[in-house]
Each structure stands twice: as structure tokens, then as C-alpha cells.
């Protein structure tokens, strides 16, 4: 026996203990089966994931963890691979369904590896529960759908309001001309009755159209939104998840900052997220050709303590001089496909929250859009706590 032999069992036990510790703490489940599909090993993470104790699974067919029809077909899948060598999952990985002890199913990401040990073929499956990921993705899709719907409705309302304002002026002029023509006709020696009647009817219809437009504008202005206390940091996080799709691929560095201890704000969540999403997307588009591309979204308490300031800043070329003074007027845009009502909508939403949307040049470059949100009720800044900071 060599001098190093006594140390070898101790070293082996230490390595086994390290491996056991890793398997007990790794979040992904690990399942080892033989070529007949019989479970040889079932990790603690797999126990938590499927609800089975390892003793109840080891020695049984792995199809126990699968819903129909995969449960009934698994042995055929295994036999086909052993016969043909055609890989469908092994070394590839895919999303499949797992079945818990209570019969419920859940989505898993499965990666399978193969090893040949002493003439015995074993397959190791690494299982990751992606339920939360899919729920998050579904929630983001739902939120994006809600924002798109609100955006379309708001855009329609603002366009209707702008059109009502623009059309009302020529209608007023037409009404004045008709009234003047009617007076001239009445002053003639023998005014033709049909002409007077036609002028009176035309004047009445113009006035009717004006009343419809006035009612439409009044209806739009009286639109009431549902406000509730909301966490500003969470609101920005959710909106950013939608707005930043593809931003990394464009080489844009994003910084989200919410000051510590911000109180809840009384807002219509969907409307404010609509504003944040669209201001961020506008900023991303503005930086398309900029050598430096940084987008910052910040939230901080106003000096008076009764409002929270939300700020979206970019490092783009800044506001064009020809539109800077008319930025919030209807149908003013620098986009080739733009309608020129977006900023008008966002300003209306800000005003609906007793605030104001303003734009200014950045300290060094780019553009900064800023609006305020009212603190909910008698809330005051919380003491301590950490703000959200993400780069």
C-alpha cells in the first residue's frame, strides 16, 4: 500500500459531499434513467418540482412524470432512438410538459445528455420549471395589448377633438355666410320663397353640425379615468419591459432609477404606462443614428413632497428647431409615418393627472421629457428602503 492510499477515500468522500451539496442546491432538477427508461437518480430539486420523493420514483419508469400521450409513447420513443440513433431531444433540448404527483401539468425546459459507463447507457435529464417565465411573458403580452388598446382609443379621441376644433372654424364661417345671404335675400323686393327656405335649412344644418362637434369635444374632455395608488418603480419596470424589446440589439444602454422611499401615486396605471412606453420608444427612435445611445428613465420626489417627477432622457440629436415651439400642437411631427397626435395625447394624460408634460434640451445633448404624478392621498415619503437602480 502506498503512502497516498489512505488519503484517497477521504478525497473521494469530499468530492462526493461537494457533488451532493451542488445537487441539493441547484435550482434545476436532475433525473438519471437507464436505456429502459427506469429512473436511477432523482435530485432534491426534482423532488420539489414534481412533488415526488426520490424513493417513490427511483426504480419506476420515467413516464410517471409525463402527461398523456407522452406517458404511453415514451417507451416507443426510447426504442426508436436505441434502434435508429435519431435524436429528437438528446443533445438538443426542448420545451415539454411535466406532470406533478397531484396530476397537474406544467411547462418544463428539458435538456438530455447521454453517457456510456461500463457498457451501460445512461441518460441524464436536466429539468427547469418555466411556469413563471411563461406567466411573465403572458402578462407582458396582456399589458402590451391593453396599452395598445388605450393608445388607439386615446389617439382616436385626440384626433376627433383636433378635427372638431379645426372643422368648427369653417362651419362657423359657412354659418355666417348663410345668414348674410339670407338677410340679403330678405331685403330684395320680391324674395323667392324657395331660396329663403333653402338658406334657412342650410343654416340650420350647419348649426346642427356645430352642436355635434361641440358635444363631441365636451364628451372627450369629460372622459374620467380610474385612478388608484400605484408603485412608481414597479410601474416603470413593467412599462420598460415592453418598450425595451429590441433595445439591446440596437446598442442602447438603459438606466432605470427610482429614488428610495417614493410614496405611491394616484394614477390610471394603463394611461401612465402608455406615456412611459411611448416616450421611451420615441427616445429609442431618436437615437437611431447617434454615436452615443443612452436612455435614462428616472423617478424622484418633487421638492414640495406632494408629487413624483418622472423623467425620460435620451442622447439623441435633440429637438428640431422647426418643431420645438410647436411640439404639442396637433399634426406636428418629424416622423415620416407619424400622425402628430402622440405628444398631444401624452400631455392630455398628464393634465388629467393634474400635471403637465414638458420637453427641454438635455444638459449636454439629447432631449428630456418630464411630467409629474400626484402622491396618493396623504402619503408621505417612507423612511429608509432602497430605490430601484438598474443599468
pLDDT tens readout for residues 200-226? 778 777 776 776 666 656 655 555 557
Note whether 235 and 383 are same-domain residues. Answer: yes
In this structure, the answer to whether residues 255 and 369 fall within a common structural domain is yes
pLDDT bin (cut points 50, 70, 90) of residue 390 is very low
**Do 112 and 197 reside in the same domain of the chain?**
no
Q: Looking at the structure, do residues 122 and 168 belong to the same domain, yes or no?
A: no
If you compute the radius of gyration of the chain from its CA atoms, what whole number of angstroms results? Answer: 34
pLDDT value at position 388? 45
The DSSP secondary structure of 65-111, one letter per residue, reads GS-TTHHHHHHHHHHHHHHH---SSBTT-EEEEEE-TTS-EEEEEEE
In a domain, 204, yes or no: yes
pLDDT 10s digits, 337-351: 443 446 777 888 888
321: pLDDT confidence band, cut at 50, 70 and 90? low
Confidence of residue 153 (pLDDT cuts 50, 70, 90): low
What's the CATH code of the domain at 138?
Answer: 1.10.287.130
- When divided into structural domains, the chain yields a total of 3
The answer to whether 55 and 37 are in contact (CB under 8 A) is: no
DSSP H helical ranges for the chain: 7-25, 44-50, 54-57, 70-84, 131-187, 193-221, 232-243, 269-286, 321-324, 342-352
In a domain, 348, yes or no: yes
For residues 318 and 209, state if they share a domain: no
47 in a domain, yes or no? Answer: yes
Residues 197, 316 within the same domain: no
CB-count burial class (<10 Å; 0-12, 13-18, 19+) for 53 = exposed
pLDDT, residue 6, reads 55
Same domain, 123 and 180: no
| Residue 6: partners with Cβ closer than 8 Å, 6 or more residues away | none
258 shares its domain with 340: yes
Q: How far apart are CA 334 and CA 352, in angstroms?
A: 26
Q: Quick one: cell of 292?
A: 452615443
Residues 111 and 25 in one domain: yes
User: Within a domain: residue 25?
Assistant: yes
Mean pLDDT of 83-98: 76
Bridge partners, 374 (sequence order): 307
Strands 228-230 and 294-301: unpaired
CATH number for 115:
3.30.450.20
pLDDT interval class at 154 (50, 70, 90): low
Residue 307, pLDDT score? 93
Q: Which residues contact 316 (CB under 8 A, 6 or more apart)?
A: 283, 286, 287, 290, 365, 366, 367
More confident residue, 381 or 126: 126
Q: Which of 20-24, 44-48, 156-160, 302-306 bottoms out in mean pLDDT, i.e. has the lowest?
A: 156-160
Place of cell 435508429: 84
Choosing from 94, 129, 164, the residue where a domain stops is 129
Structure-model confidence comparison of residues 24 and 262, the more confident one: 262
384 pLDDT band (50/70/90 cuts)?
Answer: very low
Pairing assessment for the beta strands 294-301 and 94-99 based on DSSP bridges: unpaired
Same domain, 232 and 205: no
User: For residues 188 and 192, what is the distance between their CA atoms, to the nearest angstrom?
Assistant: 9
Tell me if 11 is assigned to some domain. Answer: no
Q: Which of 80, 110, 129 is the last residue of a domain?
A: 129
Domain span at residue 185? 134-221
Bond before 69 cis per omega within 30 degrees = yes
Question: Which positions ≥6 away from 132 have C-beta within 8 Å?
Answer: none
pLDDT above 90 covers a percentage of the chain that reads 16
The pLDDT value given to residue 382: 44
Residues 301 and 272 grouped into a single domain: yes
Over residues 265-317, the pLDDT tens digits come to 999 887 888 888 889 988 888 888 888 889 999 999 999 889 999 999 999 88
* SS3 at position 307: strand
pTM comes to 0.48
Considering the domain boundaries, does residue 107 fall inside one? yes
- Contacts of 116-120 with C-beta under 8 Å, sequence gap 24+, read 120/34, 120/35
Residues 237 and 284 grouped into a single domain: yes
Q: Which residue has the higher pLDDT, 260 or 217?
A: 260
* Residue 150 within any structural domain of the chain: yes
Q: Is 10 within the bounds of a domain? A: no
Instruction: Compute the mean pLDDT over every residue in the chain, rounded to the nearest whole number.
Output: 78
The owner of cell 433540448 is: 93
**Integer Cα distance of 275 and 348 in angstroms:** 10
Q: Which of 198, 221, 244 is the last residue of a domain?
A: 221
Handedness of CA 224, 228, 233, 235 (dihedral sign): negative
pLDDT at position 350? 86
Amino acid at each position: 500500500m502506498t503512502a497516498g492510499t489512505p488519503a484517497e477515500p477521504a478525497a473521494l468522500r469530499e468530492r462526493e459531499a461537494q457533488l451532493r451539496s451542488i445537487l441539493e442546491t441547484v435550482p434545476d432538477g436532475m433525473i438519471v434513467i437507464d436505456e429502459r427508461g427506469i429512473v436511477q437518480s432523482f435530485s432534491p430539486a426534482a423532488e420539489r418540482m414534481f412533488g415526488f420523493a426520490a424513493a417513490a420514483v427511483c426504480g419506476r419508469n420515467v413516464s410517471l412524470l409525463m402527461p398523456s400521450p407522452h406517458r404511453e409513447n415514451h417507451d416507443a420513443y426510447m426504442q426508436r432512438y436505441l434502434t435508429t440513433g435519431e435524436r429528437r431531444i438528446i443533445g438538443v433540448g426542448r420545451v415539454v410538459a411535466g406532470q406533478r404527483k397531484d396530476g397537474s401539468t406544467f411547462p418544463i425546459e428539458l435538456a438530455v445528455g447521454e453517457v456510456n459507463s461500463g457498457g451501460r447507457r445512461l441518460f441524464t435529464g436536466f429539468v427547469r420549471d418555466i411556469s413563471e417565465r411563461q406567466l411573465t411573458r403572458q402578462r407582458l403580452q396582456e399589458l402590451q395589448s391593453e396599452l395598445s388598446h388605450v393608445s388607439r382609443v386615446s389617439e382616436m379621441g385626440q384626433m376627433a377633438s383636433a378635427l372638431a376644433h379645426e372643422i368648427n372654424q369653417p362651419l362657423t364661417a359657412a354659418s355666417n355666410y348663410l345668414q348674410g345671404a339670407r338677410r340679403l335675400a330678405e331685403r330684395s323686393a320680391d324674395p323667392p320663397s324657395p331660396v329663403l327656405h333653402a338658406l334657412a335649412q342650410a343654416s340650420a344644418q350647419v348649426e346642427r353640425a356645430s352642436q355635434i362637434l361641440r358635444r363631441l369635444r365636451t364628451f372627450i374632455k369629460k372622459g374620467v379615468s380610474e385612478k388608484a395608488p400605484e408603485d412608481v418603480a414597479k410601474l416603470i419596470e413593467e412599462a420598460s419591459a415592453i418598450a425595451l424589446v429590441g433595445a439591446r440589439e440596437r446598442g442602447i444602454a438603459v438606466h432605470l432609477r427610482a429614488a428610495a422611499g417614493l410614496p405611491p401615486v394616484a394614477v390610471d396605471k394603463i394611461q401612465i404606462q402608455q406615456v412611459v412606453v411611448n416616450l421611451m420608444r420615441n427616445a429609442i427612435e431618436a437615437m437611431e443614428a447617434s454615436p452615443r445611445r443612452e436612455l435614462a428613465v428616472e423617478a424622484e420626489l418633487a421638492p414640495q413632497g406632494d408629487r413624483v417627477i418622472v423623467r425620460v432622457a435620451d442622447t439623441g440629436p435633440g429637438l428640431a428647431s422647426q418643431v420645438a415651439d410647436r411640439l404639442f400642437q396637433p399634426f406636428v411631427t418629424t416622423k415620416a409615418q407619424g400622425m402628430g397626435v402622440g405628444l398631444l395625447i401624452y400631455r392630455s394624460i398628464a393634465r388629467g393627472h393634474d400635471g403637465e408634460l414638458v420637453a427641454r434640451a438635455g444638459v449636454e445633448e439629447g432631449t428630456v421629457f418630464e411630467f409629474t404624478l400626484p402622491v396618493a392621498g396623504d402619503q408621505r415619503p417612507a423612511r429608509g428602503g432602497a430605490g430601484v437602480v438598474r443599468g
